[in-house]
A = this chain, B = another copy of it.
Amino acid sequence: MKTTFRQKYLAAVLFCILVLNTTLSFAADSLPSWNDGPAKQAILDFVKSTTDTSSLKYVPPEARIATFDQDGTTWVEQPLYTQVIFAFHQVGVMAKKDPKIAAAEPFKTVLSGDRAAIAKLKMPDLLKILAATHTGMTVEVFQASVKAWLATAKDPRWKRPYTGLVYQPMLEVMKYLRDNGYKTYIVTGGGQDFVRVYSEQVYGIPPEQVVGTVADTKFSYDKNGKAILTKVPKLILDDDKAGKPSGIHMMIGRRPVAAFGNSGGDQQMLEYTQAGDGARLMMLVHHDDAAREYAYGPKSKVGNFPDTLMAEAGKNGWTVISMKNDWKRIFAFEQ
């Protein structure tokens, strides 16, 4: 191949752009929404030591697994889990098609809009609502119903789509980890099929990297003989508390080196992460900012952060992230 001066010149320019770009990206702050402090420093130190081949804490690329709880860790969970709000909405959709649903409990209570009565619903009622709204349809029909709801539903406090209520600092951590060779996973007590609908768009995490609570599917054929999967109300994985390490083992098959949570439901995931050899990063988001988001802790029914968890964090050297002090901004839409 004969190269002209022009070609050589162009190649050299390309080369320079590459070098400059790399230099610039290393100099930039990867966590701009974080205030300087121990939490931000813990993340920076962890990434530096686990990706530096000369470090004793170096972690080979294939072992770089980071897991993130979702509700309360990467997006708002108060006053009610987003998926429960979706389920309540779906009861309305179903009642329009089938008046028998409108007349039967616990659906009647949900449709009444009576908040006090809804708050009194017991676990068997909630399971009935989840079964009715999350099973009995093909996987594709369920996914479409989640998509349709997310496109129009808005959180009453911020008047924004629920997928807009993700924590900007956590999105930055996820991206920073990925830019450093980490594979990021959502490990949530929420429904796997629910979260997978928006995980790529919202978190940059593909569906196959979402581990959540799993109900079974049943294989059969539709009237045209086409193979279909129907969601059925049989629990396969309860991805909460001790279920999280089991879910991680089943779905990933490797122990995470970094894990992020915010409640008692994440304790075992963090313990399991810490029990591995070498460098480890365990972090808990603490909701202590009523002005910008919510402040809740040991007494909350949603996202319970018991005092025993705070004590364990201290004893084990886990980093507690104060939303108030560690986060410069909480949402991308803030200035």
Contact = CB atoms under 8 A, between A and B. Distances in A.
Nearest to A222: B275
A210 B253 contact: yes
Interface residues of A, number: 49
B12 A3 contact: yes
A15 interface: yes
Question: Taking chain A's interface residues, is the majority helix, strand, or loop, or is none over half, making it mixed?
Answer: helix
A208 B252 contact: yes
A206 B250 CA distance: 14
A125 interface: no
Q: How many copies does the complex hold?
A: 2
A229 interface: yes
A9 B210 CA distance: 48
A56 interface: no
Contacts of A19: 1
A192 B250 contact: yes
A249 B207 CA distance: 10
Interface stretch (A100-108, A166-174, A211-219): A211-219
Interface in A231-278: 236-237, 242-243, 245-246, 249-254, 268, 271-272, 274-275
B8 A227 contact: no
A14 B7 CA distance: 12
Interface string A152-195: 00000000000000000000000000000001000000001100
Contacts of A7: 12, 15
19 contacts: A7-B15, A8-B8, A11-B11, A62-B200, A62-B206, A183-B208, A192-B250, A192-B253, A193-B253, A196-B253, A207-B254, A208-B251, A208-B254, A210-B253, A217-B249, A219-B245, A227-B274, A229-B246, A236-B236
Given A207-B252, A227-B245, 20 more contacts: A1-B16, A1-B19, A1-B20, A11-B11, A14-B15, A192-B250, A192-B253, A196-B253, A207-B253, A207-B254, A214-B250, A217-B245, A217-B246, A217-B250, A226-B275, A227-B268, A227-B271, A227-B274, A227-B275, A228-B275
